[in-house]
Chains A and B, each alone.
Chain A
Amino acid sequence: MPQTEKLEESPKGRLSRDIQRKIGQQLRAMYTDVVNEGVPDRFADLLRRLDDKNK
């Protein structure tokens, strides 16, 4: 029965969409976590030194 097969497929498809959505959220959350740390002093210092050297 092709009808039943379709019905059986859809929960699986939904599960995989749920998993994909969760992974996407986690990936962005993990990334944002680091972004929110801002600019560590060593990089601000480095760019200041490079800038001064060129002036």
Chain B
Amino acid sequence: MPAQDDMREAMLAAVPNLRAFAVSLCGDIDRANDLVQETLLRAWAHQDSFEPGTNMSAWLFTILRNHFRTEYRKRRREVEDADGGYAERLTSPEAQTGHVEFGELREALLHLPPDQREALILVGASGFSYEEAAHICECAVGTIKSRVNRARKKLAELLTIELEQEAEIEHEVLIRRAV
């Protein structure tokens, strides 16, 4: 069945991007791999719902995104039950991913609301157009645009504070050395 081989090849080709999307969404490489695995299983089981000629990558991103959202809500409920609070329990993103150099950015991303986070990643990193991102997130193009803008602003706030703090610490060290 040649169509099935094409399907497999196309899904395989999408894996690196799906993993990058998943890691950016959840900040945890193990959880990201599980998300991708579940996405592939679901996509394979629902091959019939893929319309040939449309964007396979966008279709897979939609499945991953929806699965993440369901998981996220479930986790949030579990944490609320346990703690009576809303915060998702997070360990250091650096420890989770092993990509130390992007630790601050990863942590800042996790401070964004999930709808802003996914919009920013789809448009700013995955390279989807606003229209494609709107399709994946099942919302209006204007909504995606405003989410991306809010995400950029919030990230700048979070990372600027971080950079300023670093600069201040360096400054203090220099003063102490001078004295």
Let me know if B133 is at the binding interface, CB within 8 A. Answer: no
Contact of A39 among B15, B24, B125 (CB under 8 A): B15
| Pairwise interchain contact A30-B5, C-beta atoms closer than 8 A | no
| Pairwise interchain contact A43-B20, C-beta atoms closer than 8 A | no
- Classify the secondary structure of A's interface with B: helix
Of B36-44, B54-62, B72-80, B135-143, the one touching chain A: B36-44
| Pairwise interchain contact A47-B11, C-beta atoms closer than 8 A | yes
Asked if A43 meets B121 with Cβ closer than 8 Å, knowing A19-B159, A35-B17, A51-B4, the reply is: no
- Classify the secondary structure of B's interface with A: helix
Docked CA distance A54–B5 (Å): 11
Docked CA distance A33–B24 (Å): 11
Chain A residues whose CB sits within 8 angstroms of the CB of B160 once the complex forms? 19
| Pairwise interchain contact B156-A32, C-beta atoms closer than 8 A | no
Docked CA distance A38–B13 (Å): 9
Let me know if B85 is at the binding interface, CB within 8 A. Answer: no
Chain A residues whose CB sits within 8 angstroms of the CB of B159 once the complex forms? 19, 23
24 contacts between A and B (CB under 8 A): A19-B159, A23-B159, A24-B124, A27-B125, A30-B106, A31-B21, A31-B24, A31-B125, A33-B20, A33-B102, A34-B23, A36-B16, A39-B12, A39-B15, A40-B19, A42-B37, A43-B12, A43-B36, A43-B37, A44-B12, A46-B40, A46-B41, A50-B44, A51-B8
Enumerate chain B interface residues (CB-CB to A < 8 A).
1, 4-5, 8, 11-12, 15-17, 19-21, 23-24, 33, 36-37, 40-41, 44, 99, 102, 105-106, 120-121, 124-126, 152, 155-156, 159-160
